[in-house]
Chains A and B, each alone.
Chain A
Amino acid sequence: MSDPSEIGAPDESIDQRPPDKRHVFDNPRNVKRVIYTLFTVCGLLLAVDLLDITGVLYHKHIHFAFERWFGFFAFFGFLLSVALVLTAKEMRKLLKRDEDYYDR
């Protein structure tokens, strides 16, 4: 796992000056906290689906049968987002051109 403070670093390093003041996300521990919170919330949301399956308290109001599957929306969101990004990445290989492509 790479250093969380390097998330999404673009190619060119255009950092010009050292930070003037310590800001919230300069501290890698804070970044880690955000990520752990995210994982926790995901876990909780999946757990809610258990309530639906067991019929306790919560009932999914759905239109189609497949929406009833455990964690349908969660996995759908996760898998399709990954598919989206990876497909887009491949598309870029094909469609990327220099900035001045149209100006030549």
Chain B
Amino acid sequence: MIDSLPPGTLLIAGALLFPVLRGRLRQAWLLLLPVASFLHLLSLGEGTLRQLELFDYTLTPVRVDSLSLVWGYIFHLAALLSAIYALHVKDRWQHTAAMAYAGSAVGGVFAGDLITLFVYWELTAVTSVFLIWARPDHLKGRALEQQAERSFRAGMRYLLIQVGSGVILLAGIALRVRGGGSLEFSHLGLVDFATGLIFVAFGIKAAFPLFHNWLQDAYPEATVTGTVFLSAFTTKMAIYALARGFAGTELLIYIGALMTAFPIFFAVIVDDLRRVLAYSLNNQLGFMVVGVGLGTELSLNGTASHAFAHILYKALLFMSVGAVLHRTGTARGSELGGLYKSMPWTTGFCIVGAASISAFPLTSGFVTKSMVLSSAAGQHYVVVYLVLLFASAGVFHHSGIKIPYFAFFAHDSGKRVKEAPPHMLIAMGTTAALCLLIGLFPGVLYQILPFAADYHAYTASHVVTQLQLLIFSALAFTVLNLTGLYPPERRSVVLDFDWSYRRALPALVGSVGRAGGRAWGGLLEAAARGLDAARRGIYRLHGPEGIFARTWTTGSIALSAALMLGGYLLFYFFY
């Protein structure tokens, strides 16, 4: 029976037990679940297919192939590492949400048909929102209340957008089925309105430009451990969906290129370091999207391996900034600095993560992201290649340098705290080790990629040109700081596209409402005046002073009656 359960079910079902577990038992369960679920996945070999007849439709709840396995493996790994990081959390509902979220993402990538995908799609949304709504237990008192308020509202916006994505997906599926299309979740292509809707739905969760702000809005408002979980699943599941359904769609190349470029400008000026990481996430997703758009074996291998590596080093970065948040109560660059003195290990791990995201030689980023760049160049997309190169230099700037620098070095903030707790150090250390191991032994990762990869990352040319790109970017940072041109970290909000629906749209609706209200009021008032005028007119004629209220003498009535009869006779006589 167990082997007919879809992957991820153990995580979801097991998550429900957390509310009744305490202490060591809860912690053991937290670690056991991802491992058990992973073993379950392994027991379903590649090529497993399970189908189900429901009403008139054939559903495929389980489809295991080389593409989905890459995601299946990394999702379980991420769940385990994040679980280790979250061992201290006493809020049991957070554990339930986190594990159910992980399980839904796993289920989603093994879905063989669109309906099953939709179910998991929505499930990831409703489970992950609780990680945003959870109590910000790294704060106290007034600060906690204020943050809880912000988190609540951010979570609402997040939920609206995520569920909105699901609704659009369902609309697309319904239209597709009605148009005679198949429910099978394989290559769809952007061919008609139905697939267009599905494309948009995937794009929302993949943080396409203009649909992206939920990422920067919600992730920094989640708990310390919650954000680590959040960073792994939703967006990568969306990338998988794009890779499965829209590989080779040329539009994606340009969307992806745009996605790599614009977030880095914001990342440079934003204060909250977790928001910087969220913009950075957006930038990295762009590389994956370009890989999907190019559609070659090399580029898809690039997307898959980059997703794998990215989940690890992004989690590491969120873990280290999270550890800082956990100890100091803040994640703002303007309030931090000098923490290498009290949190040296965290600093070290953060630097490994920063080096990985920048694709320094010997790290996981170097052996994965470059496949996408190579493919773009190979297909002669000159402008896109240059944009990706720019984005590579840019990511070093805001994630490679800014994050470790402003958190741990720069101006000493005076904060002296304890080093991160042991379980967090273990989680970070393991993740950092994996980033380096993949960088040193890429073959291990290449083996699980969907296509045979005979890509050689460590050519002299690649190492030198990459080092030139990165070290000279570091030089730029140094020179800008020494000449005082580098913008200092400031407490502020930086407006992005979400201004349109957080400020402009409500303001518009408000003013239209008020104008409408005034117009309606004016209309009612005019009507009331009209009625009043009519009333007065009638009063004038029929009221006590009015003509029709006067008493007439009998004689004048008799005379009027005689005149009327006479007139009638004459009229009758002559016609």
Residues on A facing B (Cβ under 8 Å): 1-2, 4, 6-12, 14-17, 19-21, 23-26, 35, 38-39, 41-42, 45-46, 48-49, 58-64, 67, 71, 73-82, 84-89, 91-92, 95-99, 101-103
Q: Is B178 engaged at the interface, CB distance under 8 Å to the other chain?
A: no
In the bound assembly, the distance between CA atoms of A98 and B492 in angstroms comes to: 5
A10 and B412 within 8 A (CB): no
Which chain B residue lies CB-closest to A97?
Answer: B493
Cβ contacts A to B, 27 pairs, < 8 Å: A2-B483, A6-B411, A7-B410, A9-B411, A26-B412, A35-B482, A45-B471, A48-B464, A58-B460, A61-B462, A74-B469, A74-B472, A77-B393, A77-B469, A77-B471, A81-B393, A81-B397, A81-B472, A85-B477, A85-B485, A85-B486, A88-B265, A89-B485, A91-B269, A96-B490, A96-B495, A101-B503
In the bound assembly, the distance between CA atoms of A67 and B377 in angstroms comes to: 11
Q: Is B406 engaged at the interface, CB distance under 8 Å to the other chain?
A: yes
Q: Is B476 engaged at the interface, CB distance under 8 Å to the other chain?
A: yes
Q: Shortest CB–CB separation between residue A29 and chain B, in angstroms?
A: 16
In the bound assembly, the distance between CA atoms of A49 and B468 in angstroms comes to: 10
Q: Shortest CB–CB separation between residue A40 and chain B, in angstroms?
A: 11
Q: Is B52 engaged at the interface, CB distance under 8 Å to the other chain?
A: no
B269 and A64 within 8 A (CB): no
A103 and B150 within 8 A (CB): yes
A81 and B476 within 8 A (CB): yes
In the bound assembly, the distance between CA atoms of A96 and B340 in angstroms comes to: 30
Q: Is B459 engaged at the interface, CB distance under 8 Å to the other chain?
A: yes
B474 and A14 within 8 A (CB): no
Residues of chain A contacted by B335 (CB below 8 angstroms): 14
In the bound assembly, the distance between CA atoms of A17 and B342 in angstroms comes to: 14
Indicate whether A38 sits within 8 Å of B478 (C-beta atoms), given known contacts A63-B378, A99-B492.
yes
The number of residue pairs between A and B whose CB atoms lie closer than 8 Å in the complex comes to 198
Other A-B pairs beyond A67-B465, A85-B476, A88-B265, 11, CB < 8 Å: A8-B481, A16-B415, A59-B461, A64-B377, A75-B472, A76-B393, A77-B393, A84-B394, A84-B397, A91-B265, A96-B493
Q: Is B132 engaged at the interface, CB distance under 8 Å to the other chain?
A: no
In the bound assembly, the distance between CA atoms of A68 and B508 in angstroms comes to: 53
Q: Is B385 engaged at the interface, CB distance under 8 Å to the other chain?
A: yes
Which chain B residue lies CB-closest to A16?
Answer: B414
B490 and A64 within 8 A (CB): no
Q: Is B569 engaged at the interface, CB distance under 8 Å to the other chain?
A: no
Instruction: Give the contacts of B452-505 with A (CB-CB under 8 A).
Output: 459-462, 464-496, 502-503
Q: Shortest CB–CB separation between residue A77 and chain B, in angstroms?
A: 4
Which chain B residue lies CB-closest to A78?
Answer: B472
A14 and B413 within 8 A (CB): yes
Q: Shortest CB–CB separation between residue A87 and chain B, in angstroms?
A: 6
In the bound assembly, the distance between CA atoms of A73 and B389 in angstroms comes to: 9
B487 and A88 within 8 A (CB): yes
Partner of B269, one of A6, A63, A88: A88
Sorting the interface of chain B by its residue count into under 10, 10 to 19, 20 to 34 or 35 or more gives 35 or more
In the bound assembly, the distance between CA atoms of A78 and B477 in angstroms comes to: 9
Which chain A residue lies CB-closest to B390?
Answer: A80
Residues of chain B contacted by A7 (CB below 8 angstroms): 410-411, 478, 481-482
B377 and A63 within 8 A (CB): yes
Residues of chain B contacted by A71 (CB below 8 angstroms): 468
Residues of chain B contacted by A88 (CB below 8 angstroms): 265-266, 268-269, 487
Residues of chain B contacted by A98 (CB below 8 angstroms): 492-493
Which chain B residue lies CB-closest to A9?
Answer: B411
Residues of chain B contacted by A10 (CB below 8 angstroms): 333-334, 337, 410-411, 488-490
A35 and B478 within 8 A (CB): yes
Indicate whether A85 sits within 8 Å of B268 (C-beta atoms), given known contacts A61-B461, A62-B461, A77-B476.
yes
Residues of chain A contacted by B409 (CB below 8 angstroms): 25
Residues of chain B contacted by A86 (CB below 8 angstroms): 485
B334 and A12 within 8 A (CB): yes
Instruction: Give the contacts of B397-418 with A (CB-CB under 8 A).
Output: 397, 405-406, 409-416
B503 and A102 within 8 A (CB): yes
Q: Is B177 engaged at the interface, CB distance under 8 Å to the other chain?
A: no
Which chain A residue lies CB-closest to B402?
Answer: A8
In the bound assembly, the distance between CA atoms of A12 and B475 in angstroms comes to: 26
Q: Is B382 engaged at the interface, CB distance under 8 Å to the other chain?
A: yes
In the bound assembly, the distance between CA atoms of A17 and B467 in angstroms comes to: 39
Residues of chain A contacted by B382 (CB below 8 angstroms): 64
Q: Is B168 engaged at the interface, CB distance under 8 Å to the other chain?
A: no
B470 and A77 within 8 A (CB): yes
Q: Is B244 engaged at the interface, CB distance under 8 Å to the other chain?
A: no
In the bound assembly, the distance between CA atoms of A17 and B487 in angstroms comes to: 26
Partner of B468, one of A14, A45, A95: A45
Indicate whether A60 sits within 8 Å of B503 (C-beta atoms), given known contacts A77-B393, A77-B473, A97-B495.
no
Residues of chain A contacted by B150 (CB below 8 angstroms): 103
Indicate whether A81 sits within 8 Å of B477 (C-beta atoms), given known contacts A10-B337, A61-B459.
yes
Q: Is B264 engaged at the interface, CB distance under 8 Å to the other chain?
A: yes
Q: Shortest CB–CB separation between residue B282 and chain A, in angstroms?
A: 15
Indicate whether A60 sits within 8 Å of B461 (C-beta atoms), given known contacts A71-B468, A86-B485.
yes
Which chain B residue lies CB-closest to A88?
Answer: B268
Which chain B residue lies CB-closest to A34?
Answer: B478
In the bound assembly, the distance between CA atoms of A10 and B487 in angstroms comes to: 9
